[in-house]
């Protein structure tokens, strides 16, 4: 943890025009996230979880208020600056995996590094380390269509963390997975968080995810209803229901001994 928060939102509002009506998705959200947090935005559908995640990820801009991510005000960023922020500092994990269908597993993970301009040798080392971490080093040539849901999401995780981002934003990452795969995915992310210090922020209403969170922020109607640390967190060292206790064979990408 550092003294300076990675993310600070202040009185954040997001209003969508729906014809003659206006929909207030966020109604003044003030939050901050420090480095290394493993936090979740929880709440019912329409509570503003994804909207907040999108603004933090500079995929969207607030209507009012401010969001400062990695020292940059999201609302003032140009398209190019926002793209650069996402490319260098933020990894995304989506509910529907969103892998590039024509790319192999290896190429999907490598894609983020290509955009960063890493040399081929560095890319290969990082990609293999990331795939090793998610136990998919033997599926490098497979296409997304040949993977199960759990495997696809593990590729998405590898793609999100391979560039060693400061923040990973995961929008309902387990919604399309069964319990076993969900726990495996969550363990993987928790381990990355622990070993790399990467900040993870989830948008979820999945109870399985909540078991792993260290901070739970409940949103209701676009407002923060509660923001509390979670005491009953389950560690990956303590296998729970449907969870695998198998430790990774290799350290996380970028992990220091």
Partner 1 sequence: MTILKLALKNLLGAGLRTWLNVFVLSLSFVLIIFARGLIDGMNRQAEQAMIASEIAGGHFQHPAYDPYDPLTLADAHGPVPAPLAALASSGKAAPVLVIQGTIYPEGRLFTVRVNGIDPGQALLNIPTSFLAAPNAPNAPTDDASDAEIPVLIGTRMAKMTGLEKGDTFTLQWRDARGTFDAREAAVVEIFSTSVQTVDSGQIWVPLALLREMTGHSGEATFVVIAQGTAAPVLAAPASARPSGTPADPGAWVFRGPDYFLSDLKAMVESKTAGSSILYAILLLLAMLAIFDTQVLSIFHRRREMGTLMALGFTRTKVIGLFTLEGMLNGVLAALVAAVYGIPLLAWIARTGWALPGDTDSYGFALGERIFPAYGLGLVAGTTALVLLVTTVASFLPTRRIAKLKPTDALRGRMS
What is the token pair recorded at 3?
């003294």
In the structure encoding, which two tokens stand for residue 186, read together? 């969550």
Q: Give the whole-angstrom CA distance, residue 176 versus residue 181.
A: 10
To the nearest whole angstrom, how small is the minimum distance from the Cβ of residue 63 to partner 1? 13
Nearer to partner 1, 21 or 79 (CB): 79
Could you give the count of Cα atoms lying within 13 Å of 3 in the half-sphere of its Cβ? Answer: 0
Of 115, 175, 210, 255, the one binding partner 1 by CB under 8 A: 115
Looking at beta carbons only, is 10 or 88 nearer to partner 1?
A: 88
Minimum distance from CB of 99 to partner 1 (Å)? 8
Among 177, 167, 72, 164, which residue's Cα sits nearest to residue 125? 164
Distance CA 115, CA 75 (A): 23
Asked whether position 175 contacts partner 1 by CB under 8 A, the answer is: no
Which two structure tokens, joined as six digits, stand for 256? 């220091």
CB of 93 to partner 1, least distance (A): 10
C-beta of residue 186 within 8 angstroms of C-beta of residue 38: no
Q: How far is the CB of 19 from partner 1 (least distance, A)?
A: 15
CB-wise, 144 or 150, nearer to partner 1?
144
Q: Which residues bind partner 1 (CB under 8 A)?
A: 54, 57, 59-60, 79-80, 83-84, 86-88, 92, 94, 96, 98-103, 107, 111-112, 114-116, 159
């Amino acid at each position: 943890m550092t003294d300076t928060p990675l993310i600070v939102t202040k009185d954040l509002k997001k209003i969508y025009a729906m014809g003659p009506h206006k929909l207030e998705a966020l109604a003044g959200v003030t939050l901050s996230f420090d480095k290394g947090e493993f936090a979740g935005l929880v709440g019912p559908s329409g509570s503003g979880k994804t909207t907040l995640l999108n603004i933090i990820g500079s995929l969207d801009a607030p209507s009012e208020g401010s969001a400062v991510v990695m020292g940059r005000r999201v609302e003032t960023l140009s398209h190019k600056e926002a793209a650069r922020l996402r490319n260098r500092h933020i990894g995304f994990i989506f509910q529907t995996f969103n892998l590039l269908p024509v790319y192999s597993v290896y190429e999907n993970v490598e894609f983020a590094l290509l955009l960063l301009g890493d040399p081929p040798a560095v890319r290969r080392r990082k990609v293999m380390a990331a795939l090793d971490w998610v136990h998919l080093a033997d599926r490098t040539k497979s296409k997304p269509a040949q993977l199960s849901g759990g495997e696809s999401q593990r590729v998405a995780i590898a793609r999100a963390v391979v560039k060693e981002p400061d923040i990973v934003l995961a929008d309902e990452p387990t919604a399309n997975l069964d319990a076993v795969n969900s726990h495996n995915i969550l363990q993987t992310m928790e381990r990355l968080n622990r070993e790399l210090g990467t900040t993870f922020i989830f948008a979820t209403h999945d109870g399985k995810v909540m078991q792993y969170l260290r901070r739970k922020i409940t949103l209701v109607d676009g407002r923060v209803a509660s923001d509390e640390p979670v005491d009953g967190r389950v560690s990956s060292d303590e296998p729970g229901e449907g969870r695998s206790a198998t430790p990774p064979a290799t350290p996380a990408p970028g992990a220091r001994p």
